[in-house]
Amino acid sequence: MAGLSERASTVPRMTDSGGGVHVHRGERADALAAALAELLAAPLPDPFAAEVVAVSAPGMERWLAQRLAHRLGTGPSGQDGVCAAVRFPSPAALVGEVVEAATGVGADTDPWRPERLVWPLLTELDAALDEPWCATLAAHLGRRGAGSGNGDGAGDPSRRGRRVAAASGRAGLWARYAVQGPPLLADWRAGRDGSTPEDLRWQAELWRRVRARVGGADPAQRWAQACEVLGQCGESVALPSRVSVFGPTRLPAAHLEVLVALARHREVHLWLPHPSPALWRRQGPVPPGTAVRRGEFGTPARHPLLASLGRDLHEMGARIAAVAPDAVAHHHPADPPQPT
């Protein structure tokens, strides 16, 4: 991939460089698992530290632990090993753990947690229903005279019960915006609503009012604060000197930025199942710092099946090249089929 220096399929050993992003790709998950086992076979500098391998689902955790047990702690037979002292959080849980350690705000105290944000959101929503900018949402909620400044609170009674559902849905959507599109929230914070469709610009004003009521940093600002803290002090997070994320086909922009910041003081290994080495090499250049938005990067694959299978990974590869141009790519080819 353009922007990523490529190395052979040998697995890097622990170095004294202090950190870095390593992107491992392979056409088969078992080849990636074997390479991960080779990496974990080299002990961490701290013998009491547990390895951290983030996986996206419990089924992946069970499969990967079984594959690793064929390599870790094995005896002469090579089949009686054990996968121990390895922690398997989800990528979101790993990133949340890092952000909490860096900023001091966790899930239990986060005022922007969707189920907690519903109540201040409802307060601001009720106060704004008669204002012109809120006419679209007020009409959805059955407010008579919505947007005229003299609504009387009457209207369709069947719609008035939508308030809590509307607030809950908006709180969850804003949480996804913070992870998937921090630049959008940065625009809203600065009063720049031009990137938002006109019929949805009421969201920006409502978000600003909720933000003023909640106070403090919003989630997008918190991601940026965490990255800054990680760049200055890697010891602020209680994680081992190497961390892996195994098998993701998609990583949100904010999660990837936190992992890259974490890599300033640790080795961060991304293990990506990728369907085609040729498709990887055909990735066009991505200038550092480019905001790769969902659906903007089309795959260069000509075959329709490869284009479908590789779309998300192609987009994630572009994101990695944009935020980690110095990342080192490793290819782990599958073993050739044995004759029967």
pLDDT class for 336, splitting at 50, 70, 90? low
Helix (H, G, I), strand (E, B) or coil at 21: strand
Report the alpha-carbon distance of residue 269 to residue 44 in Å, rounded. 14
**Tell me, what's the pLDDT at 148?**
46
CA atoms within 13 A on the CB side of 315: 20
Question: Distance of alpha carbon 222 from its chain centroid, rounded?
Answer: 14
Pairing relationship of beta strands 5-7 and 267-273 according to DSSP bridges: unpaired
CA distance 218 to 60: 33
Cβ–Cβ < 8 Å for 15, 44: no
Strand partners, 51: 86
Q: What are 181-204's pLDDT values in tens digits? A: 888 899 999 999 888 888 889 999
φ, ψ (nearest 5 deg) of residue 269? -110, 125
pLDDT of the residue at 29: 92
Lowest mean pLDDT among 145-154, 163-172, 243-252: 145-154
- pLDDT score for 30: 92
Average confidence score pLDDT of the chain:
83
3-class SS of residue 53: strand
Tell me the two tokens of residue 66. Answer: 């079984």
Q: How far apart are CA 224 and CA 259, in angstroms?
A: 12
CB 23 within 8 A of CB 330: yes
Pairwise pLDDT comparison (123 vs 159), residue with the higher score = 123
Question: Starting from the edge strand earliest in sequence, which strands make up the sheet with 5-7, in order?
Answer: 5-7, 328-331, 20-26, 267-273, 242-246, 51-54, 86-87
Interval 55-81 mean pLDDT = 84
What's residue 10's pLDDT? Answer: 59
Instruction: Identify the CA nearest to 26 among candidates 243, 242, 313, 268.
Output: 313
Examine the pLDDT at 238 and tell me if it is beyond 50: yes
Rounded to 5°, the CA angle 268-23-74 comes to: 70
**pLDDT, tens digit (0-9, with 9 covering 90-100), for 44-54:** 988 889 999 99
pLDDT at 7 over 60: no
Give residue 267's pLDDT: 94
Question: What is the percentage of the chain residues whose pLDDT exceeds 90?
Answer: 41
| Angle between helical axes of 219-232 and 253-262 (0-180°, round to 10) | 20
Q: Is the pLDDT of residue 76 over 90?
A: no
Vertex 13: Cα angle to 10 and 19 (nearest 5): 115
Q: Contact, 131 vs 146, CB < 8 A? A: no
* pLDDT value of position 153: 47
Give bridge partners of residue 26 from the DSSP assignment.
Answer: 273
Q: 267-273 and 328-331: which strand pairing?
A: unpaired
Exposure letters 51-84 (e unless 16+ CB within 10 A, then b): bbbbbbeeebbebbbebbbebbeeeeeeeebebe
Q: Which residue has the higher pLDDT, 127 or 155?
A: 127
For 293, counting Cβ atoms within 10 Å of its Cβ (0-12 exposed, 13-18 middle, 19+ buried), the class is middle
Q: Which of 3, 4, 2, 6 is nearest to 333 (CA)?
A: 6
Q: For 267-326, how does the pLDDT look when each residue is reduced to its tens digit (9 = 90+)? A: 999 999 887 777 777 766 676 666 666 656 556 667 777 777 667 777 788 888 888 888
pLDDT for position 338:
53
Question: 152 pLDDT band (50/70/90 cuts)?
Answer: very low
pTM for the model: 0.82
Residue that has been written with the tokens 């353009």 in this structure: 2
The per-residue pLDDT for range 153-185, each reduced to its tens digit, is 455 666 667 888 999 999 999 999 988 888 889
Where residue 4 falls among pLDDT bands split at 50, 70, 90? Answer: low
Name the nearest CA neighbour of 165 among 199, 214, 212, 118. Answer: 118
pLDDT for 125 beyond 80:
yes
